[in-house]
A and B are shown apart, each in its own frame.
Chain A
Amino acid sequence: AQKVTQAQTEISVVEKEDVTLDCVYETRDTTYYLFWYKQPPSGELVFLIRRNSFDEQNEISGRYSWNFQKSTSSFNFTITASQVVDSAVYFCALSGTDSWGKLQFGAGTQVVVTP
C-alpha cells in the first residue's frame, strides 16, 4: 500500500523567510512518481512538480526547490524568500508507474505568510 505523510499541519512565517515542507512516503513499487501541488484559497489544485523515482537530482524553479532523498523516502519542498502569495495548502502526492495519475495524497500543509 502507498502512503504519504505530511507531518506539518500548518507553518506560519513572515514574508522573506524560507519555509521547508516535509513529505515522507511509503511504497513497495520500485519505480514511482512524486508530485507537489499548491491549493490557494481559490481552491484549484495547481501542479508544481512531478519527479520520477529514478531521478534523484534536486530541482530548482525560481524560488521553489525540491530535495528528493530516496534513501530516506523523502521529497521535501522549500520556498525561498516567501511572499504573501505563497499562502496556500501544499500537497505532496505519490503514484505508481502502472497508474501514474492515481495519486495518493498527503494531508497537506497549510502555509501562512504574513507581511
Chain B
Amino acid sequence: GAGVSQSPSNKVTEKGKDVELRCDPISGHTALYWYRQSLGQGLEFLIYFQGNSAPDKSGLPSDRFSAERTGGSVSTLTIQRTQQEDSAVYLCASSLAPAPGVFFGSGTQLSVL
C-alpha cells in the first residue's frame, strides 16, 4: 500500500485478555518497528525487525509482549494478559534504509478497562 497500515485503529479490551495488533508496512520496506506512545512515557521504542528476524527487542516492557513478522511483511504485536498500564497508542513504522526516512502508521489506540 501507499503507507503503513495498522489495524484495528481502536481496540477496547478487558484486563486480563490477550490482544493482537497488526501492521502492514510500506511495500518493499525491509525494516519494521513498533513504538508505543503514552501520556506519561512519551514515544518509546519497543522492537525492531529486519526481514523476519528481530535483532533488537530491548524495548518490550515485559514478557507479556511479543511480536512476530512473517514473509518479511506483515507484523503482529501480541499483548497477553493485558493490564491497565498497557493502555496507549501503538505505532508501527517501516523503512527501506536510512534514506529517505522512517514512516509511521496511524497507530492503534488500545484501551484496557
Contacts and interface: CB of A to CB of B under 8 A. Distances in A.
27 contacts: A35-B102, A42-B106, A43-B89, A43-B107, A44-B104, A44-B105, A45-B91, A45-B93, A47-B100, A47-B101, A47-B104, A50-B98, A50-B99, A50-B100, A50-B102, A52-B98, A97-B98, A99-B55, A101-B48, A101-B93, A102-B48, A102-B56, A103-B35, A103-B45, A105-B42, A108-B42, A108-B43
Q: Could you say which interface size class chain B belongs to?
A: 20 to 34
A44 B106 contact: yes
Contacts, number: 59
Contacts of A37: 104
B105 A101 contact: no
B45 A35 contact: no
Contacts of B91: 45
Given A101-B93, A101-B95, A102-B56, A43 B102 contact: no
B65 interface: no
Interface in B13-49: 31, 33, 35, 42-43, 45, 48
B33 A45 contact: no
Interface of B: 31, 33, 35, 42-43, 45, 48, 55-56, 89, 91, 93, 95, 97-107
A107 interface: yes
